[in-house]
Amino acid sequence: MKPAPFLYYRASSLEDAVGLLNGPAANGKVLAGGQSLVPLLNLRLARPEALIDLNAIPNLSYIRLEAGEIVIGALTRHREIEFSTLLAEKLPILVEAVRQIGHPAIRNRGTLGGSVAHADPAAELPCVLTALDATIVAVGSGGERTIPANDFFVGHFATVLGDGEILKEVRIPLAESLAGWSFLEFARRHGDFALAEASVVLYAGHPGHRSARVVTGGTVERPLRLSTVEKFAVEEMPLPIDQDSFAQTLKRAEELAKMEIRSSDAARSDSEYDCHLSGVLVGRALKQAIERGSNP
């Protein structure tokens, strides 16, 4: 038997799961899709006393449009996001990011909530949700609280989620002024963990972009917003694109990204390769986002 023994609880509702996590299964781990946790159990890198399985909870898997926000339940499988017609229309960047998670078999089981709570620095969802200014809704014994994605991820596999809290859903605001987006990652082989990721969301203004959110992942401990690149995109990259200077402007954005990543406390190493890779990806994502916005 590969995993070490544990007590198994099959939660019947989110309230039941929170009760277990704050009661008999206080030292337990929450099991959603299991695509990261079960390998850790098999390798005995994780040896929790108890598992609280969320999979039998009804109504925790949904993708809804509610008052200008896309709301996605924690138990929603990556595959449901990948094939959602609502998301294909409203949030194609999320579909694009999720398509790059592992392989079909992983996406059939893996869940949005699991990936977000696990907070692997190489995961796609933390990076793209930070770029989209999403909000994480967590439930604990004291009730619900909402946390901006930008504050949620605090380090290597670390979030602000409390010991007794469970992720309930993610809310993503839809901006009418969305004027270009991109999610890119670099992995050694298709489906491998990304070495670096870049996610760019641009909002329309006049004459260029009103604001930009530029986030990198993979080579940093947590999704990292690159404020110098965001500022540069708004101030130094007016629309329409000047084709003659575009490549050079992008090069400057790339250099800014590298500088900011290098000096960040979230940098995982001082490897020149990591920095270069992230910078190049940020440049490419910025280019794709601007071009998408220019040719809708």
Partner 1 sequence: MTAPGLVKVALEVNGASYEREIEARKTLADFLREDLGFTGVNLGCEHGVCGACSVLMNGAVVRSCIMLGVQAEGCAVTTIEGLAQGENLHPVQQAFLAHHALQCGFCTPGMILAAVDLLARCPQPTETQIREAMSGNLCMCTGYVNIVRAVSAAAEALRSGRKP
Give strand pairing partners of 220.
267
Residue 14's contacts (CB-CB under 8 Å, 6 or more residues apart) are 54, 57, 60, 139, 166, 168
When asked if residue 76 is in the footprint of partner 1 (CB under 8 A), the reply is no
Q: Of 20 and 131, which has the nearer Cβ to partner 1? A: 20
The interface mask with partner 1, positions 175-214, x = CB under 8 A, is --------------xxx-----------------------
* Residue 183 CA to its chain's centroid (Å): 11
Residue among 69, 88, 90, 109 that touches partner 1 (CB under 8 A): 109
What are the angstrom distances between the C-alpha of 66 and each of 2, 72, 275? 43, 10, 39
| Amino acid, res. 127 | C
- Using CB under 8 A, which of the segments 6-14, 163-171, 218-226, 288-296 binds partner 1? 6-14
Q: Write the DSSP assignment of 86-124 as a string of letters.
A: HHHHH-HHHHHHHTTSS-HHHHHH-BHHHHHHHT-TT-H
Q: Which of residues 20-49 bind partner 1 (CB under 8 A)?
A: 20, 31, 34-35, 38-39, 41-43
Binding of partner 1 at residue 105 (CB under 8 A)?
yes
Q: Which residues pair with 139 in a beta bridge?
A: 144, 166
13 binds partner 1 (CB under 8 A): no
Instruction: Output the CA angle 178-201-189, nearest 5 degrees.
Output: 135
In the block, tokens 């309930």 appear at: 168
7 lies in the site for partner 1, by CB under 8 A: yes
By beta-carbon proximity to partner 1, the closer residue of 7 and 65 is 7
Site for partner 1 contains 114 (CB under 8 A): no
Compute the distance between CA of residue 175 and CA of residue 88 in angstroms, rounded to an integer: 15
Query: Which region, judged by CB under 8 A, interacts with partner 1, from 7-15, 135-143, 146-154, 163-171?
Result: 7-15
Instruction: Name the segment binding partner 1 (CB under 8 A); options: 101-109, 176-184, 217-225, 269-277.
Output: 101-109
Q: Which residues of this protein are in contact with partner 1, per CB under 8 A?
A: 1-10, 20, 31, 34-35, 38-39, 41-43, 51, 53, 55-56, 79, 83, 102-106, 108-109, 189-191
